[in-house]
Amino acid sequence: MFVQPFSLGLSLIAASSLALSSLARAEPESGQIAIAVAKLLEQGHYTRHPLDAAISGQLLKTYTEQLDYNHLFFTQKDIADFEKKYGTGLSDEVMLGNLAPAYAIYDLYKKRAEDRVVKVKEMLKKQKYDFTSNRTTELNRSKDAWPKDEADADQLWANRIEGELLSESLNDKATEPPQQVVTRRYDRLLRTLKEQTKEDVMKFFLNSLALTYDPHSEYLSPSEMENFNINMRLSLVGIGALLRSEDGYAKISELIAGGPAQMDGQLKVNDKITAVAQGKDGKFVDTIDMRLDKVVEMIRGKKGSVVRLQVVPADAKPRKVIDIVRDEVKLTEQQAKAEIIDVKTPDGEMQKLGFLTLPSFYADMERGRGRNAKSTTRDVQALITRMTKEGIAGLVIDLRRNGGGSLEEAINLTGLFIKRGPVVQSKDANKQVQVMSDRDGGAVSYAGPLVILTSHLSASASEIFAAALQDYNRAVLVGDRNTFGKGTVQTMLEVGRFMSPFGFKTADAGSLKLTIQKFYRISGGSTQLKGAESDIVLPSPFSALDVGEAALKGPLPYDEVKPAEFEKWSGRPFDLTDLRARSAARVADDMDFKFLLEDTQRVKERIAANTMSLNKAKREAEVAAEKKRTDDRKAFRLAVKRAEPLAYKLALEDVDKPALTLVKTDEAEKAKLRAATRPERDGSTPGDDLLDEDAVGNDRIDPVKFESLNILADLIEQLRRPAIARVKE
């Protein structure tokens, strides 16, 4: 995601159906919002594609698949009826502000889902299962046809429910009967359907319209836009509690360190919120069965104001009321952070290496460039200054889970590592190419050996940063074969701005994230679809998954522009052949990489098969084999312990401290890391139960991280060797 300034003419609001003076100061009506969004897409999107019959057909397909991703609720007859009614004219209805087709399609989806849940619950009550058949159930039906008819759907669902029950019966940590767990799962679905409003349906439909243009255009509700801003500035005003929905309650899942709730001490993890009141005298509003985003909205508020929570404590004590004063909460876990790692050279000397983790390219869009505004570049510069003071011999920057962020921050961060020059090129809908350059006047914050660690998840701003340093011959790229492949630029537009003559509050109409440009490397090629290719490729858990721009629906094509003029880094060129050979030898001899390759192959096979057995004996054998594999690996790791280098934590709050903290990872921390980095597994994703649990989310067993440090050490040693003069023949 990139944020660029953008403006459009008032032609976007020229629709005569909106020219009603009586609408002044009214709340925006869904039809008016739809017209504004449609015109923004037609006139502002990079492709400038009109809302014609082709878009209409694609919009219908996108909307129905967004509603019924796994093709389980609609039937082929339903889809045929939709195509007959709306296939070529849906875009015309949108341009007229008529969302009746969107509501009609959703209403049928809701009816199909509600009817299905009734059947599922009847099945769970009456059906007896012995799990002795040799049948299977599909795990992912998103590419399959919709069921032919109701009878076909019944059979699909019979297999699906049997599979869910079998999975629950094999869960040795379960505390409830399988039928009860599965019943509650579908009760949650009913609750979710009941919570949806017409505004939610409108949002869903307009988002489908935006996605029809490309995978990164998106319509955002006001609350979603606020969440986007929070993620960019890494702060919010609230109480500092993370919530999850459970059985109709908003349950505390985590208290953010340093936040008002954690400092106050009354609210505890697993407490359930039953009601929320504003101020010391406000009336309580019941939150049981309320949508989680609505509860969150009520808890957030102005800095210094009071929110009162009615709480059911986790320790079964009587209900109580907790008053908390809202304050700014810093999301420090998403900030740049680093480690200084002591490693031995082949000569036996100790050498300090820096390892900097950058989760995103964040920036405070509201405060701009002010001193107190959050900035990726400013934070990374502070960490580098301290690491340089500690005497690091080289630096790894980890972008493996960095999905992008601010374009300006990507450019500015690149400037910390080069003297001056272009960083990225962009092209707009008029084919005008702009070269964007580092503007720091030639100052270099770090000039030493540099490795950039990437993965298939490294996207957008990450790709600009990595590609620029690769083009300058400034860094060695290490990781997956290539990055995500997102080479497009988005801007954020408040839809209400384009309805301004009617006096709407701009935030009330939501926002449109709109693709307006494509970006290109300074060497001329785009990162769109291709990404940035690694100089040294390592085995990766992501290589088994269909991840990247090419896996998305409707991506923009790859193309090239003229290379920009730039001077490569003045240091010695890298001998990549030597670095690759050394790394390949280590990888071939590393058991953790062997485990990773085994897991990757099994995930690939599971995804290809896309089925789950409904035979309990067979599934038990699979579980037993998985447990044995896990136990064998644990035994191996205990017998052959990886030498752990000393590592010192360097967070932003540590940069001015006289001494740094030695990193220690105990079992409790390992469990927390695993929980934070793994999704809850329910067997619905092919291969989600095949990854090595002991190696996921645990920096102590991260072979890719350790190998990137080994490559950095090789690079340092290579650059220190005397240069060999070559005579031109």
SS3 track for 668-717: HHHHHHHHHHCCCCCCCCCCCCCCCHHHCCCHHHCHHHHHHHHHHHHHHH
**Spatial contact of 28 and 503, defined as CB atoms under 8 Å apart:** no
Q: Which residues of 60-92 are buried (b: 16+ CB within 10 A; e: fewer)?
A: bbbbbbebbebbbbbbeebbeebeeebeeebbe
Residue from 581, 487, 491 nearest 535 by CA: 581
Give me the count of residues in the chain.
729
Query: C-alpha distances in angstroms, 257 versus 266, 338, 364, 379?
Result: 14, 19, 21, 19
For 10-100, where are the E strands, in sequence order? none
Residue from 404, 407, 410, 393 nearest 355 by CA: 393
**Spatial contact of 334 and 231, defined as CB atoms under 8 Å apart:** yes
User: DSSP of 36-104, one letter per residue?
Assistant: HHHHHHHHHSTT-----HHHHHHHHHHHHHHHSTTS-SS-HHHHHHHHHHHTTTHHHHHHTT--HHHHH
Q: Are strands 320-325 and 306-312 parallel, antiparallel or unpaired?
A: antiparallel
Q: What is the dihedral of CA 118, 123, 126, 128, to 10 degrees?
A: -170
**Spatial contact of 390 and 352, defined as CB atoms under 8 Å apart:** yes
Q: Which residues contact 72 (CB under 8 A, 6 or more apart)?
A: 116, 141, 147, 153, 156, 157, 160
Residue recorded with tokens 């039937």: 75
Which residues on neighbouring strands pair with residue 721, listed in sequence order? none
Residue from 471, 353, 366, 377 nearest 422 by CA: 471
Q: How far is CA 680 from the centre of its chain?
A: 15
The one-letter code for the residue type at 314 is A
Q: Are strands 241-246 and 661-662 parallel, antiparallel or unpaired?
A: unpaired
**Spatial contact of 109 and 74, defined as CB atoms under 8 Å apart:** yes
Which residues on neighbouring strands pair with residue 243, listed in sequence order? 252
Count of beta carbons in the 10 Å neighbourhood of residue 728: 3
Query: C-alpha distances in angstroms, 20 versus 14, 24, 25, 92?
Result: 12, 8, 11, 21
- Looking at the annotation, which residues are catalytic? 460, 471, 486
Which residues on neighbouring strands pair with residue 251, listed in sequence order? 244, 272
**Spatial contact of 385 and 376, defined as CB atoms under 8 Å apart:** no
Cα–Cα distance measured from residue 100 to residue 585, given in angstroms and rounded to the nearest whole number:
63
**Spatial contact of 486 and 13, defined as CB atoms under 8 Å apart:** no
CA atoms within 13 A on the CB side of 297: 13
**Spatial contact of 465 and 483, defined as CB atoms under 8 Å apart:** no
Q: 447 φ, ψ to 5°?
A: -115, 5
**Dmax (CA) of the chain:** 89
Q: What is the DSSP letter of 534?
A: P
Which residues on neighbouring strands pair with residue 512, listed in sequence order? 219, 493
- H or E element, residue 292: helix 292-299
Cα–Cα distance measured from residue 572 to residue 570, given in angstroms and rounded to the nearest whole number:
7
